[in-house]
Structure 1
Amino acid sequence: MHELVIKGGRVALDDGWADCDIGIDDGRISAIGNGLSGETLIDAAKRWVMPGGIDAHCHLDQPVWGGAGNADDFESGTISAAFGGTTCIVPFGMPGPDMSTIGAIDRTLDRAAGRAVIDYGLHAVVTMGTGADVEQQLSELAGRGIASVKLFMTYQGFAVDDDLFFKVLDTAHNLGWIVMVHAENDAAIRRTRQRLIDLGRTDIRYHVVAHSETMEREATHRALAFAEMTGARMTIVHVSSWQSAEEVARARSRGVDAIAETCPQYLFIGSADLDRPAVDAARFVFSPPPRSPRSHQHLWQALIDGGIDLWSSDHSPYFFADKIGKAETPGFTTTLSGIPGIETRLPLLFSEGLLTGRLTLDRYLDLTSRNAAAIYGLANRKGSIAVGLDADLALWDPEVRWTLGHAALHSRVDFTPYEGRTVTGKPTSVLVRGVPVIADGVLKAKPGFGQFLPRTAADPARSGKPVEETTPWLDA
């Protein structure tokens, strides 16, 4: 007799679909089979039982930069995530001005405590202003369950120089951490932005020019070359274009431990969406920007064949008034970059990837939960429906058709770039550690139910060989 049994669902196991029951005890999956009995039963008839999603790239309750703070804190953001079928997130301990990397983690843990309704880890962030003692700070955080760090190659206040880049890569290599990189060439963006301003070309559509595919491609190539030199593991976040995706593939062919992440906005929004009246176009401003149909097609194929490893939201929640600012006519120089997506991430891929047959179940599970768990040190707890793992489950109605829109979503952000898009399939009940957070479309969990998850770094001995340890004179 189990504490809880999910009965009669079509269950997405690692080796395929199975019509079976799931037994749950002490918050973990204790049995998978038929005819299981439990003190409490949840009827999953006509439902697809999926692993809870893991969103390893999202932003919540960050310090104010540029005059605007996040609309979502850890309460509203995790509620929104849960309604979208996500049971675990790994956002960033983002530093404010002159805040250390450790200080940023401490701030974020304080902001999350008592608010989250699903489980969460944190990524560290290093900038030029987070302190000279990078190795010491990251080593201390490793003892506190942090296993990844993000670097920016652009944005004033965030972009790191090459010396700091290498210092972080070397430290991460020794710790077994993975380094996440926002890859865009900052000098090229600043140069092109100013030339566009001088030419009077400040309409929002020029955001695509100021952050061209070439600038992303060059930075991706350079970041991966740095990973190759140091032997570090690297995730190129929000790969937006075919050019950057090809750089990742080329690096892998050279033996670089390179991981590629993309986001829904790079498959479902295009550069033509910025060629609209300003206030309408502002809904589609994010960085890197939306790309061409060629990039859409290339990224879909990469999702299918494994060229892309991760499907993340890059949820960047701003109220629309803050996003467009006080400019009489919003332009690419005045509109804040970033869109919401923590709740729509899984429904979009479920509808347009899994149900259409574009993606196999195996690829869908890799992209939405399994790979994030394996890459970011959560595979001992999360990512699959398997005995011994946390009972993080989402029961999906695969037939319901519904319309994405602000009124249907749960983020505090007052717009969505997917307004009016119809999708098929919706999570109706969501469990975290065997406890219903959402039950038949109704929020049940109280703020604070979600727990901080210490994560496990990889074995440093499995990292690549840095260039100083090579012996080219012995090469054939």
Structure 2
Amino acid sequence: MNPPFDLVIRNARLVTASEMAATDIGLRGEEITAIGHDLRPGLAEYDAAGHFLLPGGVDSHCHIEQMTAAGIMNADSWESASRAALHGGTTTIIPFAAQHRGKDLTAVVADYHVRAEIGAMTDYAFHMIVTEPTEKVLTEDLPALIAAGHGSIKVFMTYDPLIVDDGGLLALLTAAKAAGAMVCVHAENHAMIKWATARLLAEGKTAPQHQAAAHPRLAETEAISRLIALAELTRQPVMIFHVSTANSLDLIRAARARGVRIWAETCPHYLYLTDSAMERPGNEGAKWMCSPPLRGVADQAALWAALRGGDLDIVSSDHAPFRPDATGKFAAGPDVAFNRIANGMPGLQTRMPLLIDAALRGKLTLPQVVELGATAPARIYNLGRKGRISVGADADLVLWNPDSTTLLSDDTVQDGTGYTPYPGMELRGAISAVWRRGKLVLKEGELLARPGEGRFLPRSGGDAARWDS
């Protein structure tokens, strides 16, 4: 006879990427072992009546305890970032081990492991940021690191200290293809941004609100078009990070229609905010600076339609936390031009609550929220036991109360920035409980997890990183 369940969650309204059903869930140890009605008693029981039960969120794009190329450490340690993630219903994260020029990639990844092991409360994997695709990196470091379970690489097509040119990108795509890794790309045209920035500064347009014009829409669409061509030439799939414009969506649809294997994500700030957020007095607008920048209402509508229609695969946070003070946004000074202000917004805590709110207001369905926020990122990044509720999967579960609300304010922020980009927004739905691998780690707002409990998730690039899978 099978041992009793360690926990049975009763009367849940289960939500997966494909269906919704009233059922019970039985857990043993760290995994889901039964789904059905009238499960026999567990050693512990949890009544989920009136609640939706979703898999824990998987945030596949977030910056944690990461130094910028300008030498600014972002505001989050692994402990504070994973605390924010759990408070937002996310149980698995994929941040970046970032190589800066002159640094040894293998040493960078080893150092990042040490910091994650000390502070992480969520489970995690890494993307490796590569800025110097040298012969050693391409033929020694990357193959060994990918074989050790680091199944994805990030590349920047812009930023002077980070940019990889087309030749370097082709070399990285080729190396990734040989080793079976995914390549993720920040796609903006570097020359266009430098040209637009220089013109704005010459005209005395230095306030944060001008950052949007400094990153013109064409900078994104041109770079995405070029990236698609490079991927098509090498027959290596790519993930296009933080798509922000309707024009970019047209390029992605056209490429897929002719058989190019590409993936694409967007972020909540492009769905909920526009560039008008930066039009605040003084430097207040710096809180809403990110790259690519916030866009317009028409782009928002196109992104929502793309999520509903399956043209975008993932909603990630692109959590890039900088305090709006001398330690972060204004490390270069309180009155500097927009091009010297640190870019990025916090988002780990608000990503899933914003998506749940969208579903409860009819902009998405709850299964679409599960697909975009958990199942697709786990599938695309080859995290086989994550992002789903099924027998044999990790028991990463979040219980949502649709009859409650979540008020976003600076007072409720759990990350290190001290502010939310959505102050005063009241969201439908609230988290009642979070389980990570079967352990209750958050209950009615009380954090029960401890630093160091998170687990590294080794992985290859998987099917999504193969052109002909």
Same fold flag (TM > 0.5): yes
- Output aligned runs, 1:204-283, within 5 Å: 204-283=208-287
Distance in 1 separating the partners of 2:215 and 2:404: 38
For the Cα contact (< 8 Å) 1:256–1:464, is it kept in 2? Answer: no
For the Cα contact (< 8 Å) 2:95–2:125, is it kept in 1? Answer: yes
Which residue matches 1:83?
A: 87
Residues 1:146 and 1:21: Cα distance change in structure 2 (over 3 Å): same
1:377 aligns with 2:418: no
More moved, 53-62 vs 153-162: 153-162
Question: What number of residue pairs does the alignment pair up?
Answer: 463
For the Cα contact (< 8 Å) 1:52–1:383, is it kept in 2? Answer: yes
For the residue of structure 1 that corresponds to 2:6, the secondary structure is strand
For the Cα contact (< 8 Å) 2:97–2:126, is it kept in 1? Answer: yes
For the Cα contact (< 8 Å) 1:313–1:341, is it kept in 2? Answer: yes
Distance in 2 separating the partners of 1:268 and 1:218: 25
5+ long unaligned stretches in structure 2 = none
Which residue matches 2:38?
A: 35
For the residue of structure 1 that corresponds to 2:114, the secondary structure is helix
Residues 1:77 and 1:461: Cα distance change in structure 2 (over 3 Å): closer
Residues 1:45 and 1:131: Cα distance change in structure 2 (over 3 Å): farther
Q: Post-superposition shift, 1:414? A: 1.3
Q: 2:335 aligns with which of 326, 329, 333?
A: 329
Which residue matches 2:192?
A: 188
Q: Post-superposition shift, 1:330? A: 4.9
Residues 1:155 and 1:326: Cα distance change in structure 2 (over 3 Å): closer
Residues 1:266 and 1:460: Cα distance change in structure 2 (over 3 Å): closer
For the residue of structure 2 that corresponds to 1:114, the secondary structure is helix
Which residue matches 2:109?
A: 105
Q: Post-superposition shift, 1:331? A: 3.2
For the Cα contact (< 8 Å) 2:182–2:465, is it kept in 1? Answer: no
Distance in 1 separating the partners of 2:434 and 2:210: 41
Residues 1:198 and 1:86: Cα distance change in structure 2 (over 3 Å): same
Distance in 2 separating the partners of 1:231 and 1:310: 22
- Output aligned runs, 1:60-75, within 5 Å: 60-75=64-79
5+ long unaligned stretches in structure 1 = 466-476
For the residue of structure 2 that corresponds to 1:93, the secondary structure is strand
Q: Post-superposition shift, 1:298? A: 0.3
CA RMSD of aligned residues (A): 1.7
1:155 aligns with 2:159: yes
1:451 aligns with 2:460: no
Which residue matches 2:7?
A: 4
Which residue matches 1:361?
A: 366
Which residue matches 1:18?
A: 21
Residues 1:247 and 1:125: Cα distance change in structure 2 (over 3 Å): same
Distance in 2 separating the partners of 1:130 and 1:355: 49
For the Cα contact (< 8 Å) 2:180–2:462, is it kept in 1? Answer: yes
Q: TM-score, normalised by structure 2?
A: 0.95
Q: Post-superposition shift, 1:461? A: 9.8
Q: Post-superposition shift, 1:276? A: 2.0
Q: Post-superposition shift, 1:457? A: 2.5
Q: Post-superposition shift, 1:210? A: 0.8
String of CA shifts for 1:385-411, please: whole Å, max 9, x gaps. Answer: 000000000011112123101211211
Q: Post-superposition shift, 1:132? A: 4.2
1:299 aligns with 2:303: yes
For the residue of structure 2 that corresponds to 1:278, the secondary structure is coil
Percent identical residues = 38
Q: TM-score, normalised by structure 1?
A: 0.94
Q: Post-superposition shift, 1:15? A: 3.7
1:339 aligns with 2:345: yes
More moved, 147-156 vs 173-182: 173-182
For the residue of structure 2 that corresponds to 1:65, the secondary structure is coil
String of CA shifts for 1:14-44, please: whole Å, max 9, x gaps. Answer: 4411111110012000000112220011221
1:141 aligns with 2:145: yes
Which residue matches 1:442?
A: 446
Distance in 2 separating the partners of 1:319 and 1:131: 38
- Output aligned runs, 1:372-451, within 5 Å: 372-378=377-383, 380-451=384-455
More moved, 319-328 vs 3-12: 319-328
